A = this chain, B = another copy of it.
Amino acid sequence: MPRPGPRLRLVDVAERAGVSLATASRALAGREGVSEEVADRVRQVSRELGYVANPYARTLAGGASSTVGLIVHQIDDPYFSEIASGVLELAAEEGLLVQIAHSGRDPDHELRQLRHLIAQRVGIILIAGSGYDDQRMETEARTELAEFQRAGGRVAVVGRHSLGVDAVLPDNEAGGRAIGAHLLELGHRRIAVAAGIPGLTTVADRLTGVAAALAEHGLTLDELPVVHSDFTRDGGRIAAEQILREHPESTAIIALNDAMAIGVLSALRAHRVPVPERMSVAGFDDVSVAADLAPSLTTVRLPMTQMGRMALGLALKPRTTRPRRRSTGQTLVVRDSTGPAPQN
C-alpha cells in the first residue's frame, strides 16, 4: 500500500514522470491541454507514489478549496447528527473534507460562524437547520453569501431560508397536515401543540400544516393551545407541564419535533398520564430512537441522512441562475403513542 510520504510534492511526481510541474498539475486536475498518453503516465506515477496534494498550497494558488463547511444548530441533536452523517458519507465518496460548526440556534452566532467559514476559504457552505424569521440576520447572511458565491463558492441549505441559494426542503407543511389529519381521524378535537421557539421557519411551516388539517374539520389553530418553548427535550417537558396545567381537557399533544415529543412523554409519565389512553402524543422527524420509546412514537418521517446527501449533492453541481429546490417527501409513521380520543 502506498504510504503518502510526508513531504512528497508535485515536483517529485513531475520529475519521476519526466514532465514539467505545469503538465503534472494539469494532468492531475484533469484539465485539458495534455495528451492522454502523458496524462495517464502522470496519474500512474502519482498513484504509485501515493501522492496527495497539499490543500493549503492548492487553495492558496487559487484552486477551489475542497473542504465543506457545515453549520448545524447542535451536533448532538439526532436530527442534525443524521443529516451530518449523510453529508460525511457523500463527502467521503467525493474525497472532500467536512468542517462542522455549531450555531446553537442563535442567529447572531450563526452569522459569525458563517463569516468564519468564509474567512477560512472553504469551497462549499452547507447550512442545516431551520431558517429564522429575522429580517436583519437573513439580509446580512444573504449579502455575505452572495459575495462568497461571486468568488466561486457554492452554498446549499436544508430548510426554508430566504437566502437565495439552493435548498433541500423538508415537507414540513405536508407533514404537519398528515399528523393533524391523523389525530382528527382518531376523533381528537382538543389538541394542544408543543411548538418550538417562534421565529424558526420550521416551526412556522409545521404549524401551517397542522392548521390546514384543522381547517378541513372547521377548526382553527387560534382555538387551540399552542405553547412555544425550546425546540429540545427540555422545551417539550416544559410545554407539556404547561398544557397539563392550563388545558387539562386536551386529549392529544402534537410536538413539532421528536426531541420535544420525548420531553412531552417524559412529563406525562411523571404525571402518570397514560399514553395513548388518556393522551395521544405525536412527534416529527422520526429520529432513530422514536421507534424505541415506550410507547413507540407516532411521528412524521423525514429522510435526514438522505437530506444531508442531497444538500451536498446540490452544492456539488454547478450553480444555476435560479436557485434550485428539492423536496424531501415525508411519511406518517403511526406507532403506539396515538390512539382514539377518550370518550367522555
Of B4, B6, B76, B84, which one neighbours A151 at CB under 8 angstroms?
B6
**Residues of chain B contacted by A118 (CB below 8 angstroms):** 4, 6
User: How far apart sit A115 and B305, CA to CA, in the bound complex (Å)?
Assistant: 26
> Is the CB of A306 closer than 8 A to any CB of chain B?
no
Let me know if A24 is at the binding interface, CB within 8 A. no
Within 8 A of B (CB), among A132-153: 147-148, 151
Given contacts A293-B294, A294-B269, contact A121 B76 (CB under 8 A): no
B-side contacts of A147, CB under 8 Å: 6
Tallying the copies of this chain within the complex gives 2
Chain A residues 250 to 269 lying within 8 A of chain B, measured CB to CB, are: 262-263, 265-266, 269
Binds B, one of A13-21, A51-59, A167-175: A51-59
Cβ of A78 to closest chain B Cβ, rounded Å: 7
Shortest Cβ gap from A282 to chain B (Å): 16
A281-315 contacts to B (CB < 8 Å)? 288-289, 291-295, 305
Tell me, in angstroms, the Cα distance from A118 to B55 when the chains sit together.
11
As a 0/1 sequence over residues 83 to 111 of chain A, the CB contacts with chain B under 8 angstroms (1 = contact) are 01100110010000111111000000000
Q: Known contacts A88-B75, A121-B56: does B101 contact A99 (CB below 8 Å)?
A: no
Of all A-B residue pairs in the complex, the 9 with the closest CB atoms, nearest first, are: A294-B294, A52-B119, A76-B85, A81-B81, A56-B56, A76-B81, A56-B60, A56-B59, A76-B82
